[in-house]
Structure 1
Amino acid sequence: MPAVTHKDPGTVDTGLATAAEKVSLLAGQRAAEADATRRLSPEVVAGIREAGFARHFVAAELGGTEGSFDELTRAVVAIGQECPATAWCASLSAYSARFASHLPAEGHRAIWGASPDVVIATALMPAGRATAVDGGWRLSGRWSYTSGIDFADWALVCGSVAGQDGPPQLRFFALPKGSYGVQETWDSIGMRATSSHTLTVDEVLVPAHLSYDRTDMLTGVNATSAVAAHNVPFQAVGGLTFIAPVVGAAVGALNATAAALTGRKRGQAAELAVVRASGRVDAARFLVAQNAGVLDGRLFTPEHMARNERNATYAAEAAVEAVGLLIKAAGTGGLGEGHALQRFWRDVTSAASHVALQYDTAARKNYSAVLLGPEV
């Protein structure tokens, strides 16, 4: 059999960024409705799928596009300017395929054999327990904050394996729709339409080919795929999955404020606040783009990976500060229910609270590497 060749993700344009423009327009038109109903419309969900987010990191031999981190990041930021919840779900649908790539080859065929556009919802935190049985694992548990679970075709969850000596082994388990339940528990004031509900599993048998050791994902060593994006240490990716929608939301908030500050509303104090906010937004955009460049350039040194984690957490901090300044600039009018700015403010505040965007779980543990980091 001839060797499988893979694209260089740094040089291939899959068309995702262009397709995202159409999704952005539709998502912007439905953003207020999505916020009010706490769910994305079927048309927006279909738009995410048709644009190619789910297939972005899927192997070419399975119909995927093997795209780059840079192209994905630009597409997510663009959608985030119109509807951060849509951008969040688009980002996770892409990155979830990357996580699932660590499954055995038979698992790849089970998930993507019929279509590369399968949407996977991922619960990264270990919250369930599994027991080894003949042919696989018996799994039970509850996973909170599983974004996009109400329109996902598959779920990928992390659980601990019972009955072993020493620390419990952590594994990921892939579950087809219908083998798990969903409890609608997501009631955050921001990112309301991400459907980040609780996934429940009760004594489900997971075949061996639908599970892999969590260490494989953390180290980025993929025994079943040679695709570049499938062989990336988790630390290097850092919070890019989650910060790109936040940065898009901050850009959206800046645009909404600038459009609203006309006439007497545009005083010197308001202009100053917008300028200060724009600096923070630009800094966040630069740092996120820098992270994507590190991933596509495969610069997986301790210094680069530590900087990526720091960049994501700092970008989240800068975005929160920016929308706070914009709220002050817009005044009471910016907090009206019909004003887009208050939605962006709530979305940024909610999304920036994600554990992946906290200093305690990211850059702080890499103190020395950050200080002695790579040249900019």
Structure 2
Amino acid sequence: MTAGGTWPDADAIASAADLAGRDAADSDAAGGIGNETVEALTAAGFPGCFVPRRFGGGDATFAAVTKAVAAVGEGCASAAWIASLSAYNGRFGAYLPVGGQEEVWAKGPDTRLVSSMVAAGVEAEPVDGGWSLSGRWLYVSGVEFADWALVSSAPPREGDRSVLVFAVPGDSFTYLNTWSTVGMNATGSHTLVVERAFVPECRTFVWDDMRRGVLSGPGTTAQSASLFSVNGLTFAAPILGAARGALRLAERHLADRPSGARAASRESSLIAFTRAAGEIDAAELLLSRVADTADLGGLADGRAERSHRDSTLAVEILVGAVDRLFRVTGTRGQGTSHAMQRIWRDVHAAASHAALQFEPAALAYTRGLVTG
């Protein structure tokens, strides 16, 4: 990626999306996206789009990243998931002190970062100049081809200043092949393992600062957005793309005029298709408002809680739309060689992510209104 805020490169993103879509079935079967797709996503600039400018970052907006991730998701939700996390993990890296940033991006903005706050049995012991770190972290999407990892000292809790995030280079961690799921199988979200790695103080930051959007130094509006105001976009954008892919498949299915028993249900299928198309548009509008609000820096006065609510609500709408389209394609769409059943599996698996659950987002939004 060229330095100086040139992201996005529309041609490179289109090329990555096309490759990811062509390889989607093979990636799903293999349990991970291929090296060519990984390199194409990197060449499209996803890892560097939120990286600080002084290291060649792309000065991206949330709106642009959401659009680009959704474009990849139309062909492969798992590849879009990797693209999205790659982008947002670069944003997380901006919370490191300058010395840590210089280490992480010493080779340029396309350094691939992964992250996990799902800590399991972590030991972080203070030593001279930093920390001795050991532990395991679950569900680390893209760990197989990561250059650096951002991992927490414990499961984060709001307001807890003791929970740190550590930046660990690729030669200091391994992974256990623990990911095999009914959906989003190609994300390769395995378990990351660190054994007695030294992490200097300059490669740590407080998780709660990232939650609140408090940078240790200067940064962009995108870098300083509070975590839960935009975290939903990270995981909703691949689902939006996948829903569009399902809509395209259903359109092709309906273009083949049925005969026999299927002909009797054609009108109901056309109505279901139209409803799903409208639902996908509605979800996109909600996610666009989330992105635009963050890009304008307008996250005060309950708007961060509204954004979190909107992201989770959009995902509920998208899941319903994909269910509807899955039924439209009938038995054909359930065939193991048909892309619709993969999209249906991926969307349901992705929507189960903790950041996309409507109930906690709704409670945070409403409590802010009644107690504010």
Q: Same fold (TM over 0.5)?
A: yes
How far off its partner does 1:227 sit?
Answer: 2.4
Query: Quick check: 357-366 or 82-91, which moved more?
Result: 357-366
Query: Structure 1: which 5+ residue stretches go unaligned?
Result: 1-5
Residue 325 of structure 1 corresponds to 324
Aligned pair partner of 2:110 in 97, 110, 117: 117
Residue 312 of structure 1 corresponds to 311
Q: TM-score, normalised by structure 1?
A: 0.91
Distance in 2 (alpha carbons) for counterparts of 1:365 and 1:129:
32
How far off its partner does 1:148 sit?
Answer: 0.7
Structure-2 change in CA distance of 1:147 and 1:371 (3 Å): farther
What do the CA deviations read for 1:230-263 (whole angstroms, capped 9, x no partner)? 2111122131111000111111111111112211
Distance in 2 (alpha carbons) for counterparts of 1:16 and 1:159:
36
Corresponding letter in the other structure for 1:293: D
Residue 80 of structure 1 corresponds to 73
Structure-2 change in CA distance of 1:196 and 1:302 (3 Å): farther
Structure-2 change in CA distance of 1:370 and 1:355 (3 Å): farther
What do the CA deviations read for 1:275-306 (whole angstroms, capped 9, x no partner)? 12112111111111111101101001142111
Structure-2 change in CA distance of 1:92 and 1:252 (3 Å): same
Q: What is the RMSD of the two structures over their aligned residues, measured on CA atoms?
A: 2.1
What do the CA deviations read for 1:300-337 (whole angstroms, capped 9, x no partner)? 11421111111111111111111111111111110101
How far off its partner does 1:203 sit?
Answer: 2.1
Distance in 1 (alpha carbons) for counterparts of 2:51 and 2:189:
23
The answer on whether the counterparts of 1:38 and 1:195 sit within 8 Å (CA) in structure 2 is: yes
Structure-2 change in CA distance of 1:299 and 1:372 (3 Å): farther
Corresponding letter in the other structure for 1:125: V
How far off its partner does 1:362 sit?
Answer: 2.2
Aligned pair partner of 1:129 in 123, 141, 156: 123
The answer on whether the counterparts of 1:16 and 1:53 sit within 8 Å (CA) in structure 2 is: no
Distance in 1 (alpha carbons) for counterparts of 2:164 and 2:9:
31
What do the CA deviations read for 1:141-166 (whole angstroms, capped 9, x no partner)? 211111111111111101149xxxx9
Distance in 2 (alpha carbons) for counterparts of 1:44 and 1:125:
26
Distance in 1 (alpha carbons) for counterparts of 2:50 and 2:269:
43
How far off its partner does 1:226 sit?
Answer: 2.2
Residue 62 of structure 2 corresponds to 69
Corresponding letter in the other structure for 2:29: A
How far off its partner does 1:126 sit?
Answer: 4.2
Query: Quick check: 93-102 or 223-232, which moved more?
Result: 223-232
Q: Percent identity?
A: 39
The answer on whether the counterparts of 1:355 and 1:361 sit within 8 Å (CA) in structure 2 is: no
Corresponding letter in the other structure for 2:110: D
Residue 154 of structure 1 corresponds to 148
Corresponding letter in the other structure for 1:351: A
Distance in 2 (alpha carbons) for counterparts of 1:364 and 1:259:
40
Corresponding letter in the other structure for 1:283: A
The answer on whether the counterparts of 2:118 and 2:139 sit within 8 Å (CA) in structure 1 is: no
Query: Structure 2: which 5+ residue stretches go unaligned?
Result: none
Structure-2 change in CA distance of 1:313 and 1:371 (3 Å): farther
Aligned pair partner of 1:206 in 178, 199, 203: 199
What do the CA deviations read for 1:340-375 (whole angstroms, capped 9, x no partner)? 1111100100000000000233232221446899xx
Corresponding letter in the other structure for 1:271: L
Residue 180 of structure 2 corresponds to 187
Q: TM-score, normalised by structure 2?
A: 0.92
Corresponding letter in the other structure for 1:367: T
Correspondence 1:228-243 to 2 at 5 A = 228-243=221-236
The answer on whether the counterparts of 1:54 and 1:116 sit within 8 Å (CA) in structure 2 is: yes
The answer on whether the counterparts of 1:160 and 1:168 sit within 8 Å (CA) in structure 2 is: no
Structure-2 change in CA distance of 1:240 and 1:134 (3 Å): same
Count the aligned residue pairs.
360
Distance in 1 (alpha carbons) for counterparts of 2:371 and 2:293:
17
The answer on whether the counterparts of 1:238 and 1:308 sit within 8 Å (CA) in structure 2 is: no
Distance in 2 (alpha carbons) for counterparts of 1:199 and 1:367:
37
Correspondence 1:35-46 to 2 at 5 A = 35-46=28-39
Distance in 2 (alpha carbons) for counterparts of 1:299 and 1:169:
29
- SS of aligned partner of 1:186: coil
Structure-2 change in CA distance of 1:167 and 1:75 (3 Å): closer
The answer on whether the counterparts of 1:310 and 1:370 sit within 8 Å (CA) in structure 2 is: no
Corresponding letter in the other structure for 1:19: A
- SS of aligned partner of 1:230: coil
Corresponding letter in the other structure for 1:88: W
How far off its partner does 1:125 sit?
Answer: 3.3
The answer on whether the counterparts of 2:51 and 2:93 sit within 8 Å (CA) in structure 1 is: no
Corresponding letter in the other structure for 1:366: Y
Structure-2 change in CA distance of 1:129 and 1:202 (3 Å): same
The answer on whether the counterparts of 1:104 and 1:212 sit within 8 Å (CA) in structure 2 is: yes
The answer on whether the counterparts of 2:147 and 2:169 sit within 8 Å (CA) in structure 1 is: yes
Distance in 2 (alpha carbons) for counterparts of 1:259 and 1:272:
15
What do the CA deviations read for 1:169-202 (whole angstroms, capped 9, x no partner)? 1000011112112011111111111010111122
Residue 3 of structure 1 corresponds to none
The answer on whether the counterparts of 1:16 and 1:71 sit within 8 Å (CA) in structure 2 is: no
- SS of aligned partner of 2:183: coil
Distance in 2 (alpha carbons) for counterparts of 1:277 and 1:324:
9
